[in-house]
Structure 1
Amino acid sequence: MNPVVALAPRFQRAGGRDSRVTTSLAVTAFAVTTGLTLSVVGGLLGFVARAHEPLAPGQNDVRSLYEILAWVAVVLLVVPLLTLGGSAARLGVARRDARLATLRLLGVTSREVVVLTLVETAWQGLVGAVLGILLYVALLPLVALLPFQGTTFSVGELWVGWQGLLVALVAVPLLAGLSGAFSLRRVAISPLGVARRTSPKGMGFVRLVVALVGIGLFMTVSVVGGALGAAAIGALVGAMAIGFAMLNVVGPWVLGLVGKAQLRRATTPARLLAARRLLDDPRAAWRVVGGLGLAGFVAGALAVVPSITSVDASQDPQGAMLQDDLVTGALVTLVVAFLLAAVSAGIAQAAAVLDRRREIALQNLAGMPVELLDSVRRRSVLVPLLFVAVGSAVTALVMFLPLLGTAAVSDPTGILLLLAFLAVGCALVFVATETSRPLLRSVLTDTVVRAD
């Protein structure tokens, strides 16, 4: 075995308690990602299986519509799930980069550093995938209780098969390894810069251009979809996935602009330090609030549901059933999206506290009170949280404007529901980030500042 690769277990243990906490957070994130992804895919397979069953006499065949809506739900949920999985591989990246940079300065090659990271993150992904499969199995009976098309699902309809489980066991560690290796580009290029804590290169305006192209693609497909014939639905769902994913591209750049605006208006020490922290690493801030941004997009996309569900059950029983199923599907999608956002925010915020352990400890030793540190931690989350939630929901409304017209804004019920969901989602995510408060206190109890 390569002697450097043999260092992987010792390298993991070298981080001490902080490394164990970070590893636990990463494994938890991978487990949630795997379990919920398998549940979402299982629901899609359930609708596909029902679409091939014999149709009852006297009923219109709307099963293809259910398939389309199921694909839309998959896109709206799988993108944030994959984002959480990618973020999990980068938990504790600052402290890991520092240790890897030291190895690089001692003569370890870039390839060996990459292999070390692949080993560390891939096994976290594998453990998380196994736990996620157990979570999926535990959720199967609960998901099967959801009523759609006049009946509940059977567990067999939601089962992804042994092939699906095998794909998860391969794909999750692969995603973990690739994400972890991608985060090492600073170490591989300039280990001395990492060791000296040199600020990373800023993000360019090109991120906004790329995001606008992705969003514009969906809006264009929405307008010309009729000319695409049978391929229109596939093109629309694909374009929506691209536009949705572009939020991850433009989100950190926008938060950087928010940090600059906050810095200019800062009038208190807490506001100044929070703005500096946001401006210093907007990508880390996005990892905390990005889940809510994606959930806010889902909420904005589903705000139109009340305006298109006005069927008289006595005149059209099948249409009334479809209306109820639309509402149920929208609520389930929103609940999962916001719970996912809360889990993502809580894990990322805890990892951020550990990544800044040395900085926080030095500030405390320099005389900064604990209350101020806690205020900075809270403020660095709250402002981006509100901005991202509203901005992502508005983005969704704009994207769907060519497809649905003014339906989402003409009915006040949809807007009121959107505001209510955003308020609940923001509160849920904020509470999740507050779980890192005891961790901050425990960091400050250690009076020895480690050099890592």
Structure 2
Amino acid sequence: MNLATLFELARPRSATDRSRFRLLVATIAIAGAFLLAAWRIKRLGFRGYYYSDQYSDYIQEDGIRTGVAFAAVLLAVASCLLAFQALKLGTAARDRRLGAFRLAGATPNQVRALGAVDAGIAGLIGGLLTGPLYLLLALAIQTLPRTARMLPPANSVDLATWPIVAVVLAVAAAIVGALLGRGVVAEPRERPAKTANVTRAAVACAVGIGLVLLSGLVYRASSSFLVLIGLGLVVVCLALPTVLVAWQGNRLERSGNPLKVLAGGRLLRTVRPHARTLALLVLCGTALGFVGAMGFESLRPKSYSYDTAFYVPGLVFAAGAAVFIALIAGISLLAGTADDLLDQRRQLAALNVLGVGEAQLRASVRYQLTAGITWAVACGLLIGGVLYAHLSSIGSYSPDQSLGLLVTAGVAVVGAGLAWLVGAAAAFLLRGHVHEAAAPENLRST
């Protein structure tokens, strides 16, 4: 099989494939732009004070400059995770096509080559868009006040680095695409029995022991419950997200509302990807809760004052990064739900024929989306606020955190409400996918 045939077979044809391709290109371009930004900050050096009256204090001080570069790398990693999720969109339909391709006589290497070409093309286009996107980012940051300029202007070294980053992203995408095509099976096989997995229990036990040890390090006995609550929520929401999503799905399935039963069934079918996304939302909520608690503390009347010119840009930058990653997680969840709807179009079309209307199916999708993200965001905000209260209570100056904890609880309630509204809006955006999936034409045999 020559390269032209591979390019022709890898060309996106359906609407789902085109959406997946565009999302993959966009996320790879964003990841490359953040990598170029981290490399630009790194070239300032990680040792010594870099004085400039044009840049923020965050990139002038060596220790903080390292943190800014690391934050840019983390944003690139988050974009890469969304790119990986985009690669897996339409997995069921694509696996059927690759399985038919395999039955037609293609070798496993040709199947993997097809996956590599499919992802490599998107990676190359995204890498080529990295340069213009990074330039726009650098120019936009230069228009901000000096205290917020956390990225120096682009120069000729960035221009020389751009093609290297584009090639690296294309090769990485091709490798991941080839690995995803490795699991295509064209012959019947017997699924082996699953063995007991003790890894999750071992992690929970180890973290539980760590909680006991960390609680002994608390300087003030009155605040020991704060670290236990905060770290306990971390364990529950991050170490055991799959268990919580499965519990939520089972709870919905036991509901007397048939729409919630449908939502619970879809949750149980997509436990692992849904749990990964919710764990990321918990992390983002933790960062926002911590930043919000610190911002509230800086506004309270006290005997000492913060340098707002220094702290406010950092808090805004951290909150913006958390919102960006949460947006990526939300898009990933939305794309996965859309893909799941199209994969279940026969079942949804049968329900539509039997009298379940599209409005009811949309309500079921709304239950599915809001059931998880509401508690994920609320728990994340609580974790951030409680951990900040704990850290403040063990310092040399220990203000009363009662008011701050009340504000944190209020912010968690408001955040949960906003998360529910966002989930409902996302379900509304999927109305076209629901209409397409519930069409009676999907019951035709192919």
1:110–1:448: structure 2 CA closer, same or farther, 3 Å change rule?
Answer: same
1:76–1:358: structure 2 CA closer, same or farther, 3 Å change rule?
Answer: same
Q: Distance in 2 between matches of 1:391 and 1:201?
A: 32
For residue 382 of structure 1, report the CA deviation from its aligned partner. 1.1
- The aligned runs of 1:248-263 (5 Å cut-off) are 250-263=240-253
Residue 441 of structure 2 aligns to a residue in which SS?
coil
For residue 383 of structure 1, report the CA deviation from its aligned partner. 0.3
- The equivalent residue for 1:170 is 167
What amino acid maps onto 1:309 in structure 2? Answer: S
Gaps (5+ residues) in structure 2? 218-233
1:339 and 2:336 correspond? no
**Is the Cα–Cα contact under 8 Å of residues 309 and 323 in structure 1 kept in the other structure?**
no
- The equivalent residue for 1:280 is 269
1:123–1:134: structure 2 CA closer, same or farther, 3 Å change rule?
Answer: same
1:270 and 2:234 correspond? no
- The equivalent residue for 1:180 is 177
**Is the Cα–Cα contact under 8 Å of residues 297 and 395 in structure 1 kept in the other structure?**
yes
Residue 368 of structure 1 aligns to a residue in which SS?
coil
- The equivalent residue for 2:93 is 95
Alignment RMSD: 4.8
- The equivalent residue for 1:234 is none
For residue 437 of structure 1, report the CA deviation from its aligned partner. 1.5
What amino acid maps onto 1:332 in structure 2? Answer: G
**Is the Cα–Cα contact under 8 Å of residues 285 and 381 in structure 2 kept in the other structure?**
yes
Q: Distance in 2 between matches of 1:376 and 1:213?
A: 38
What amino acid maps onto 2:106 in structure 1? Answer: V
**Is the Cα–Cα contact under 8 Å of residues 130 and 162 in structure 2 kept in the other structure?**
no
Could you tell me which of 411, 415, 425 is aligned with 1:431?
A: 425
1:328–1:85: structure 2 CA closer, same or farther, 3 Å change rule?
Answer: same
What amino acid maps onto 1:351 in structure 2? Answer: D
**Is the Cα–Cα contact under 8 Å of residues 148 and 325 in structure 1 kept in the other structure?**
no
Superimposed CA distance per residue, residues 287-333 of structure 1 (whole angstroms, 9 cap, x where no aligned partner): 6656534422332443442266369999878x342233333323332
Q: Distance in 2 between matches of 1:133 and 1:200?
A: 49
- The aligned runs of 1:16-415 (5 Å cut-off) are 16-35=14-33, 38=36, 51-53=49-51, 63-67=61-65, 69-71=67-69, 73-74=71-72, 77-147=75-145, 149=147, 152=149, 156=153, 161-162=158-159, 164-184=161-181, 186-188=183-185, 192=188, 204=197, 206-207=199-200, 209-210=202-203, 250-263=240-253, 265-286=254-275, 289=278, 292-306=281-295, 309=298, 319-394=307-382, 410=402, 411-412=404-405, 413=407
Residue 309 of structure 1 aligns to a residue in which SS?
helix
Q: Distance in 2 between matches of 1:397 and 1:313?
A: 19
What amino acid maps onto 1:258 in structure 2? Answer: Q
Larger Rg: 2
Q: Which has the higher contact order (CA 8 A, sep 6+)?
A: 1
TM-score, with length taken from structure 1: 0.72
Deviates more, 1:297-306 or 1:287-296: 287-296
**Is the Cα–Cα contact under 8 Å of residues 115 and 180 in structure 2 kept in the other structure?**
no
How many aligned positions are there?
A: 422
**Is the Cα–Cα contact under 8 Å of residues 31 and 75 in structure 2 kept in the other structure?**
no
Q: Distance in 2 between matches of 1:142 and 1:200?
A: 55
1:166–1:68: structure 2 CA closer, same or farther, 3 Å change rule?
Answer: same
**Is the Cα–Cα contact under 8 Å of residues 45 and 158 in structure 1 kept in the other structure?**
no
**Is the Cα–Cα contact under 8 Å of residues 203 and 253 in structure 1 kept in the other structure?**
no
TM-score, with length taken from structure 2: 0.73
Gaps (5+ residues) in structure 1? 225-243
Superimposed CA distance per residue, residues 109-149 of structure 1 (whole angstroms, 9 cap, x where no aligned partner): 33332222111122122223333443332232222334454
What percentage of aligned pairs have identical amino acids? 20
